A = this chain, B = another copy of it.
Amino acid sequence: MSTQRSPQAAPERKLRADAVRNRAGILEVAQRHFLAHGIGTSLEAIAKEAGVGAGTLYRHFPTREALLAALLQRRTEEVVASRDRIGQVGDPGEALREWMRAMEDYLSSYTGLPGPLAAAAQERDPDNPLTLPCEQLITATQEYLHAAQQAGVAHAWVRPRDLFLTAVSIAWVRGAGAADDDSIAALRRLDESGYRPA
């Protein structure tokens, strides 16, 4: 308990020094490449720029999703933590709206991110490294939605998962073809007016 260790199912033994170094380097380069070229960017290029072989990259992150999940971890914690800030907002309707925007921005972190996340949200495969962030977001959504429903500013038939998918699909439109701002604003308004009773 003295050393910070994952409580349940921690298969992580301590890494060798070079492994730690390489892992960090890969993440740093990957972050830049995903930002610049979307999640479809070449993994080999990342390995090369990070100064490691392809094998090393794939040992640390067996799939593109694993790399993505590692990168997303910080962001996920930040966003979920923004609950505290948003929580200060008195009006539950306003809070829900802000939360939706926060999710939308998170989901737009990298071009192409909505695809794998939507898939993960639905398959619920515990082996998919993206399942965890999805569940966290949906859980957070539940809190805001519930409060909004209590206050009568959200329809009772709306489920947290539905709002999550809504945010994902807006983020997808943002990424696919670079929709103009007007269209995105219209989509947001449509969705908001969708879950909110008149």
A residues at B contact (CB < 8 Å): 114-115, 118-123, 155, 157-159, 161-162, 165-166, 168-170, 172-173, 176-180, 183, 186-187, 189-195, 197-198
Contact = CB atoms under 8 A, between A and B. Distances in A.
Nearest to A186: B162
A179 B198 contact: no
A100 B191 CA distance: 16
Contacts of A122: 177-180, 183
Specify how many copies of this chain sit in the oligomer.
Answer: 2
A190 to B, nearest CB: 4
A166 B178 CA distance: 15
A168 B173 CA distance: 9
Given A169-B170, A173-B169, A177-B121, A190 B158 contact: yes
A190 B183 contact: no
Main secondary structure of the interface of A (DSSP, over half): helix
B179 A166 contact: no
Ranked nearest first, the 4 interchain pairs of A and B with the lowest CB-CB distance are: A198-B198, A194-B194, A119-B177, A190-B194
Contact of A161 (B115, B118, B123, B183): B183
B190 A166 contact: yes
6 contacts: A114-B176, A118-B176, A158-B190, A169-B170, A191-B194, A194-B194
A115 B161 CA distance: 22
Contacts of A157: 186, 189
A160 to B, nearest CB: 11
Given A120-B177, A155-B193, A157-B189, 13 more contacts: A122-B177, A122-B179, A122-B180, A158-B190, A162-B186, A165-B173, A165-B183, A169-B173, A172-B172, A192-B194, A193-B193, A193-B194, A193-B195
B166 A118 contact: no
